[in-house]
């Protein structure tokens, strides 16, 4: 059997490969509305597991979930000039409802800073009301011209955190704390090593003072922004009059942050780990971590192997391992293997009459490798296999990222890399928008981050890679989604 049937090889056409993996795993499909997608149950289960992981981390850092309306008065967006300018081309606007023209158009939520600050202005009176630490799990609409399933769609699901603080220092600390939460989730749950750092003014969120980002490198050597955390300063507070009485009796505007990650994380998971067979899903986010495939020829054999399969399922489930038994009749074992491999199930346990007689099962890893395991140790050995797969995926992705990163690049090397294999390119940067725009125009590459200290090169660049003037910082360039 040709196990790669229906999947375009990555090396031939990465974009088509990506779509093929999604379709074969039944993660999502195109909706009747242009640019929108339907998330199918297998894909939505991955999102639910992502939500559970992130939501637990948010609550552990003191945040509470809330919900704000989908429709926002257009005048709200216009109160923050930079914000409305940044989002105006992407907004969908409702002008007619209930059979008549609306007195004021309503914008379908592209992000919620404005409506949240309208409410915080009512709720915050004193320093005793601070900090406010909120998050919401919602959908948003941004009218994208070029769409790609999970990566960029007109409507998508996300979480957006919004916090208000009494001091600039607290807000800055919160911004960086949530960046760290994202990084931890991506590395420990998604098995995806990332870079963190600050965006340049050209790349920051509209309305923010500073934007910090989490960037991953996909298998086609393009970068994917996986999450952002914004220090908003007092911009929105001043626009909406969100003030509080200080302990000394004076009035001050709150300092605020916002941060978000979306269903784009699923796209990143696919592009970072999957292969030409189909989806590879890190065990922590796999809808099913183990599929048990019983093998039989006779009715007597079926009874024996199904009894053992049911026992294994019970033992694994009692250990909080997500497991199921493929009991379908009239389908050959090879066809079942093909289906579950395409869906990215990390571990497959095969049980036939000989395995029952030998008190064992065959354990196959989605990432490669197959060996017999004693039934008496199956829970322990399956757990170890899942841990090994999770760790191995992260290590492989880290090794790939480092192999495709060039440090201390010259101008010619930057151009050559972006015209060829791409990847992450580290080099000196003078900080001027002119150089940033010139590089983007010449190479189609953008500065992904000015990297945090732990990601910076051992030797600080002395010259700007483009103009040759004194470098004020190191930057990481890449072509990006």
Structural domain that includes position 252: 14-273
Residue 201: both structure tokens together: 């003014």
Start-to-end CA span in the chain (Å): 35
pLDDT of residue 89: 82
In sequence order, the β-bridge partners of residue 225 are 215
**b/e code 31-60 from CB counts within 10 Å (16+ = b):** eeeebebebeebbbbbbebbeebbeebbee
* Whole-number Å distance between alpha carbons of 308 and 247: 68
pLDDT of residue 394: 98
Dihedral sign for Cα atoms in the order 402, 408, 413, 414: positive
pLDDT of residue 269: 98
Task: Give the domain CATH number at 116.
Answer: 3.30.930.10
Task: Give the domain CATH number at 434.
Answer: 3.30.110.30
| Average of per-residue pLDDT values in the chain | 96
* Strand, coil or helix: 7: coil
Closest residue by Cα to residue 422 from 124, 217, 182: 217
Reported confidence tier of residue 1, pLDDT bands at 50, 70, 90: very low
Other Cβ atoms within 10 Å of 100 Cβ, number: 7
Query: What mean pLDDT comes out for the span 217-237?
Result: 97
More confident residue, 321 or 206: 321
My answer on whether 138 and 201 are in the same domain is: yes
Reported confidence tier of residue 354, pLDDT bands at 50, 70, 90: very high
My answer on whether 451 and 326 are in the same domain is: no
Domain edge (last residue) among 395, 415, 436: 395
My answer on whether 418 and 364 are in the same domain is: no
pLDDT of residue 78: 86
pLDDT of residue 82: 77
Above 70 in pLDDT, residue 60? yes
Above 70 in pLDDT, residue 339? yes
Threshold 0.85, pTM exceeds: yes
pLDDT of residue 5: 57
What is the separation of C-alpha 259 from the centre of its chain, rounded to a whole number of angstroms?
Answer: 13
The DSSP code for 208 is -
My answer on whether 147 and 292 are in the same domain is: no
Instruction: Answer for the pair 386, 283: CB distance below 8 angstroms, yes or no.
Output: yes
CA angle 150, 325, 336 (to 5 degrees): 65
| Structural domain count, the chain | 3
Above 80 in pLDDT, residue 80? no
The single residue listed with the structure tokens 């909120």 is 134
Query: What mean pLDDT comes out for the span 394-403?
Result: 98
Above 60 in pLDDT, residue 3? no
Omega into 131 within 30° of 0, i.e. cis? yes
Contacts of 240 (CB under 8 A, 6+ apart): 79, 114, 117, 118, 120, 121
Task: Give the domain CATH number at 374.
Answer: 3.40.50.800
pLDDT of residue 2: 37
My answer on whether 40 and 100 are in the same domain is: yes
307 occurs within a structural domain: yes
My answer on whether 333 and 381 are in the same domain is: yes
The share of the chain scoring above pLDDT 90, in percent, equals: 94
The DSSP code for 362 is E
CA angle 126, 130, 133 (to 5 degrees): 150
φ, ψ dihedrals at 96, nearest 5°: -140, 135
**b/e code 296-317 from CB counts within 10 Å (16+ = b):** beeeebbebbbebbeebbeebe
pLDDT digits (tens, 9 = 90+) for 238-265: 999 999 999 999 999 999 999 999 999 9
pLDDT of residue 23: 97
My answer on whether 387 and 410 are in the same domain is: no
Above 70 in pLDDT, residue 199? yes
**b/e code 172-196 from CB counts within 10 Å (16+ = b):** bebbbebbbbbbebbbebbbbbbbb
385 occurs within a structural domain: yes
My answer on whether 431 and 460 are in the same domain is: yes
């Amino acid at each position: 059997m040709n196990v790669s049937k229906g999947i375009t090889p990555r090396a031939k056409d990465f974009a088509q490969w990506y779509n093929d993996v999604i379709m074969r795993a039944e993660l999502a499909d195109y909706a009747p509305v242009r640019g929108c997608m339907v998330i199918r149950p297998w894909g939505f289960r991955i999102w639910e597991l992502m939500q559970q992981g992130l939501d637990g981390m948010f609550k552990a850092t003191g945040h509470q979930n809330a919900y704000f309306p989908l429709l926002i008065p257009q005048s709200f967006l216009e109160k923050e000039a930079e914000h409305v300018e940044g989002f105006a081309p992407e907004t969908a606007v409702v002008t007619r409802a209930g059979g008549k023209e609306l007195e004021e158009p309503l914008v379908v939520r592209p992000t919620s800073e404005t409506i949240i600050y309208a409410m915080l202005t009512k709720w915050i009176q004193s320093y005793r009301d601070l900090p406010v630490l909120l998050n919401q799990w919602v959908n948003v609409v941004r009218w994208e011209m070029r769409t790609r399933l999970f990566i960029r769609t007109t409507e998508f699901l996300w979480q957006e955190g919004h916090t208000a603080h009494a001091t600039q220092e607290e807000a800055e600390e919160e911004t960086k704390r949530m960046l760290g939460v994202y990084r931890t989730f991506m590395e420990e749950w998604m098995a995806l090593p990332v870079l963190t750092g600050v965006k340049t003014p050209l790349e920051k969120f509209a309305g923010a003072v500073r934007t910090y980002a989490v960037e991953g490198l996909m298998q086609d050597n393009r970068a994917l922004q996986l999450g952002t955390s914004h220090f908003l300063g007092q911009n929105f507070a001043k626009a909406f009059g969100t003030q509080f009485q200080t302990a000394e009796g004076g009035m001050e505007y709150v300092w605020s942050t916002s941060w978000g990650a979306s269903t784009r994380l699923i796209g990143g998971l696919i592009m970072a780990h999957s292969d030409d067979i189909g989806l590879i899903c890190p065990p922590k986010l796999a809808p099913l971590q183990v599929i048990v495939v019983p093998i039989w020829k006779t009715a007597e054999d079926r009874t024996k192997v199904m009894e053992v399969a049911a026992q294994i399922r019970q033992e694994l489930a009692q250990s909080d391992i997500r497991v199921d038994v493929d009991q379908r009749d009239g389908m050959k074992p090879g066809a079942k293997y093909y289906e579950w491999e395409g869906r990215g199930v990390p571990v497959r346990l095969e049980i036939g009459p000989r395995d029952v007689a030998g008190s064992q099962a065959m354990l196959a890893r989605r990432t490669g490798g197959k060996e017999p395991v004693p039934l008496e140790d199956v829970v322990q050995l399956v757990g170890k296999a899942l841990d090994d797969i999770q760790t191995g995926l992260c290590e492989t992705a880290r090794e790939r990222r480092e192999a495709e990163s060039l440090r201390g690049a010259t101008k010619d090397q930057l151009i050559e890399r972006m015209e060829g294999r791409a990847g992450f390119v580290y080099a000196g940067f003078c900080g001027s928008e002119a150089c940033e725009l010139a590089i983007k125009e010449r190479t189609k590459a953008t500065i992904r981050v000015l990297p945090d200290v732990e990601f910076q090169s051992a030797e600080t660049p002395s010259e700007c890679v483009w103009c040759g003037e004194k470098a004020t910082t190191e930057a990481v360039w890449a072509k990006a989604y």
